[in-house]
Homo-oligomer: A and B are copies of this chain.
Amino acid sequence: MKGAVLAVGSELLLGDVVNSNAAFLGRQLAAAGVEVISSVAVADDLPRLVALIHHHLLESDLVVLCGGLGPTVDDLTRDAIAAACGAPLVHHAEIEAELVEKFRRYGVPMPEAVLRQAQVPTGAEALANPVGTAPGLWLPFNDKVLLALPGPPHELAAVAAPVWPRLAELTGTVVTTRQVLVSGLGEPLVAEAVEAVITLPEGVALSYLAGGAVVRVRFTASGDPSVLEPLVAAVDAALADKVWGHDSDTLDGVVHAALAARGQTVAVAESLTGGLLGAALSERSGSSATFRGSAVAYATDLKASLVGVPEAVLAEHGAVSAETAAALAQGARSTLGADWGLAVTGVAGPTEQEGKPVGTVFLAVAGPEGTDVVERRLPGGRDRVRALTVTAALDLLRRALGNG
């Protein structure tokens, strides 16, 4: 089954909004066995939208529209589908009743224009919207399908949720994906190690996605998914402690789980990251069970007064040094009262500091059995150095906790 994604909205062409829906739909459609051959952004312009629907119905079996289902006169997706498929809009009384009920619950008067959302092209099925007002639409058209989904990403995800299994059934393809998540090794070396130990069976695709100091080794099977298990096991064995998780795991999630399993906590002392490491460790709900807090000692003197780094260490070795990183980790552990102290200090740029070049970062982890320090030289500008430092720090703690 071939598919086209049409993201509707002039703001996409003007660049006021990044088209993240296209990426979300691309992933979901691929998983449901639909090959997306076109992904297009289109302005709020009825003739153009109708022409594009016609065009993409010629080469695709499924045309997915997102956006343009709101209540205003700029919202043209319903009208465009009706015109393109010769399926005049019909008012659905039960959708109107649901809209009235929703606004009653919101406690605000319902604008008259919202009733446009009760209009459905003849023959289309309305898809319930549990988190907003615009229903989605599913319209069989000859041997093809048009699918319309609301533009706000959380509404799109909620309305489309029941559609994915339905599409997977239509395509008859169960695409199964397994990912091995790796850090501490660049993409070429990961590929070399993986390809030395595996032989790819028929119907399985292998790809690598690198970004943010993480490499994802991805296997996709379009047939029997049981062939994936030995491949994943072989990669796990070959990459050993470089593997920190699988599939939808996140590095912070893995760290929290390892801490929770031991009944332990972590506290942070950070400098160049300015709070990003604490933010990463508090991103998920429930993190208060394992994350105590962070001392962001951005000014050098706070490394002493807030975290307890000895003045002599700062004077002798500087703020960006292995010795200061170790003292910060030990200080985070004792001052913030945690089982583990995790610390970073370094040069985010744009200029060197204490004679150390941009990207120089010292990371330290202090635990019940001592302190480890590593020095890294990270690439990129200020934002990238800060982001890579967070990943490297989480990975250091992960290894100290014995995961991998």
Contact = CB atoms under 8 A, between A and B. Distances in A.
Contacts of A37: 13, 43, 48
Given A18-B19, A302-B336, A306-B335, A40 B38 contact: yes
A291 B282 contact: no
Classify the secondary structure of A's interface with B.
mixed
Contacts of A273: 275, 279, 282
Interface in A277-303: 277-283, 285, 287-288, 291-299, 301-302
Chain A interface residue bracket vs B: 35 or more
A243 to B, nearest CB: 20
Contact of A14 (B12, B20, B30, B349): B30
Contacts of A299: 288, 291-293
Interface stretch (A21-29, A80-88, A142-150, A194-202): A21-29
A41 interface: yes
A36 B18 contact: no
Copies in the complex: 2
A279 B282 contact: no
A37 B13 CA distance: 7
Given A291-B298, A306-B335, A382 B275 contact: no
A231 interface: no
A257 B279 CA distance: 25
A209 interface: yes
Contact of A294 (B22, B39, B296, B337): B296
B288 A292 contact: no
Contacts of A302: 292-293, 336-337
Contact of A30 (B15, B287, B383): B15
A15 B278 CA distance: 29
Interface of A: 11-20, 22-30, 36-43, 48, 154, 209, 268, 270, 272-283, 285, 287-288, 291-299, 301-302, 305-306, 335-337, 348-351, 381-383, 386
